[in-house]
């Protein structure tokens, strides 16, 4: 029982650090340790009251897609955008009792972006960003008493995503007349500039002593429509960008859904499932204008955890199955204005790595 709950805890920690593996700019929303069990926090029993998780996420995106069609010619011609993205999520959780849990997550982000088109098209140059991302705080609650419901349970979570990450981070861009300073691409900005509402649903079902199933759902509601950050990289926005609203960056919602199976034997726990990370075209609350690269990536996600008495080591590697850069609102406006179908592209990674450690104390 406890081993399954530990691995669901860790898989949630690895999963909610969404990154979408590329130019679809889903920001890190935290490697939260949200799932645990009453046995670890029994009142008066000396159980663990605190959880700490450090999750390391990295990916390299360079394959461009329009819809589900890969633009292989970009790599062949050497014109592809190459993003290297690393996030260290430091999450601390306080177990109040057998049902309630309070959590806070602090992401530290380091990104680089190499391209030609952002630098006049004559030479490849790199922009980068480093610093604090958007901090998240949340409260979680088990619907059923964990001490009595050991085969099945559902946990609900509600929180705030704070606009602590720099969403106007700047670097140098190169043009035919020299260099200029401007905001870096949306995909490597440290934050999105919005205060959002986070919602979570986490559930497990024990089929047998060592075998079970899990499901995690996460949705970030970002009511703010745009954050005012220019997309012109220090230059003047084009007339077409102004016409379709993509001259400033959007503050999009985010979605993550995953589910699969766990199997534990002694200190080892293995999992396998599917993961869907999505940046929607339309937000639930507020407008959806501004520049965004909406899309989704569906991945096969294997994972392994080794458990010690008070801490656990884990690794999860979601491998892309389907990548889809969907038509944005700006694309739709351009299509309506010109009568010519328009759909932008985005670069995706083949896989991402999540490696971390979790302590109970």
DSSP string over 12-33: HHHHSS--TTBSS-PPP-----
Compute mean pLDDT per 10 residues along the chain, 361 residues long, and list them.
Answer: 46 48 52 40 56 96 97 95 97 94 97 95 93 97 93 96 98 90 97 97 94 96 98 95 97 97 94 97 96 97 94 96 97 97 96 95 90
Give the number of other Cβ atoms within 10 Å of residue 298's Cβ.
Answer: 18
Q: Could you tell me the two tokens for 186? A: 């949306």
- The predicted pLDDT at position 177 comes to 82
How is the chain split into domains, by residue range?
2-360
- The predicted pLDDT at position 20 comes to 52
19, burial (CB in 10 Å: exposed 0-12, middle 13-18, buried 19+) = buried
- The predicted pLDDT at position 176 comes to 80
Residue corresponding to tokens 């046995």:
39
H-type alpha helices, the chain: 2-15, 72-77, 239-244, 329-338
CATH H superfamily, domain 2-360:
Autotransporter beta-domain (2.40.128.130)
- The predicted pLDDT at position 24 comes to 61
| CA max distance for the chain | 71
Residues 211 and 184: their CA atoms lie apart, in Å, by 46
- The predicted pLDDT at position 121 comes to 86
pTM of the full structure? 0.90
């Amino acid at each position: 029982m406890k081993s399954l709950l530990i691995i669901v805890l860790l898989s949630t920690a690895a999963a909610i650090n969404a990154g979408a593996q590329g130019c679809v700019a889903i920001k890190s929303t935290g490697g939260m340790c949200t799932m645990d069990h009453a046995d670890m926090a029994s009142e008066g029993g000396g159980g663990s009251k605190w959880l700490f998780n450090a999750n390391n996420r990295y990916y390299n995106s360079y394959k461009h897609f329009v819809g589900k069609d890969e633009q292989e010619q970009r790599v062949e011609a050497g014109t592809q955008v190459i993003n290297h993205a690393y996030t260290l999520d430091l999450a601390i959780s306080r177990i109040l009792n057998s049902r309630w849990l309070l959590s806070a997550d602090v992401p530290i982000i380091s990104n680089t972006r190499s391209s030609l088109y952002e630098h006049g098209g004559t030479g490849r140059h790199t922009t980068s960003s480093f610093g604090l991302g958007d901090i998240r705080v949340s409260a979680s609650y088990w619907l059923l008493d964990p001490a009595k419901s050991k085969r099945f349970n559902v946990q609900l979570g509600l929180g705030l995503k704070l606009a602590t990450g720099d969403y106007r981070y700047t670097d140098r861009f190169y043009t035919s007349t020299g260099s200029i300073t401007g905001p870096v691409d949306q995909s490597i900005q440290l934050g999105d500039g919005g205060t959002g509402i986070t919602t979570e649903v986490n559930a497990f079902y024990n089929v047998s002593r060592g075998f079970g199933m899990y499901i995690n759902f996460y949705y970030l509601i970002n009511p703010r429509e745009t954050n005012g950050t220019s997309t012109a990289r220090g230059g003047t926005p084009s007339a077409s960008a102004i016409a379709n609203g993509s001259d400033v960056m959007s503050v999009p919602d985010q979605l993550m859904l995953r589910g699969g199976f766990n199997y534990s034997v002694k200190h080892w726990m293995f999992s396998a499932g599917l993961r869907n990370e999505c940046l929607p075209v339309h937000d639930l609350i507020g407008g959806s204008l501004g520049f965004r690269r909406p899309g989704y990536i569906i991945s096969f996600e294997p994972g392994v955890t080794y458990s010690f008495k008070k801490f656990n080591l884990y690794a999860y590697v979601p491998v892309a199955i389907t990548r889809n850069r969907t038509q944005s609102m700006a694309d739709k406006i351009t299509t309506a204005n010109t009568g010519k179908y328009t759909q932008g592209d985005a670069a995706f990674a083949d896989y991402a790595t999540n490696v971390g450690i979790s302590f109970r104390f």
